[in-house]
Structure 1
Amino acid sequence: MNDHPLPTLRNHLLALHKLLMNAERAAYEAEGNEIRSPMEFLKLLMEHERFAWLRQLSQLVVMMDEAMEEKPPVTKERMDALVADAKHLLLGSEEPGSFAVRYAKMRKHAPAVAAAHAEICKSLG
Structure 2
Amino acid sequence: MPNSAIVLVGRILLSIIFILSGFGKLTNIAGTAGYFASFNLPAPTAVAVIVGLIELIGGLAVLIGFQTRIAAYILALFSIASALVAHMGWADAMQLINFQKNLAIAGGFLVLGAYGPGAFALDARRG
Give the TM-score normalised by structure 2: 0.46
Give the TM-score normalised by structure 1: 0.46
